Amino acid sequence: MEDATKTEADRVFSEALERTGARDPRDFYRKSLRGLRQVNPKGYQEAVAHYQDVLVPSIANGEAEPLQAWREYGRLIAEVTVSGRTVAIDETGRAQPYEPEVPMERLVLHIPDTKSGRAILVSLPPTPSSAQRATYELLVAGKHRLPDPG
């Protein structure tokens, strides 16, 4: 991957973040990749290859909407981490099967097939609703009590 391509992809993504107020997931995905490297080296290599060969060039070339492309990358990391299904949680707390085109206001989680595993966060909306925060606290953080609102 060329430096110019990465620089352009970063510029386009930064503009999209600023324009929409969306959260920047890159640090979170980097941490997820570090964990993935330990538990699934082959999955880690797949995710790195996707980043270099698909994600960055498609954003730099204008072929992909940057926020959706990064969210798809997060979903790929979750899928190679553990088998399961990805869902989108709307503002009311209702889950629907994930589609790449779901609005950025949806909380996106990857639910493991195993009953013992916690959900993996794929993306947070810019301003999660109370139902989305409760879903996150229960399924991702494993908390059975909501924090005091005050």
Question: For 18-66, how does the pLDDT look when each residue is reduced to its tens digit (9 = 90+)?
Answer: 999 999 999 999 999 999 999 999 999 999 999 999 999 999 999 999 9
**Structural contact between residues 118 and 109, judged by C-beta atoms closer than 8 angstroms:** no
Q: How many whole angstroms separate alpha carbon 9 and alpha carbon 55?
A: 9
Q: Where does the pLDDT of residue 148 fall: very low under 50, low under 70, confident under 90, or very high at 90 and above?
A: low
Q: Which residues pair with 111 in a beta bridge?
A: 85
pLDDT of residue 104: 93
For the whole model, what pTM was predicted?
0.90
Residue count (the chain): 150
Q: What is the average per-residue pLDDT within 122-143?
A: 94
Looking at residue 149, what is its pLDDT? 61
DSSP letter for 118, please. Answer: P
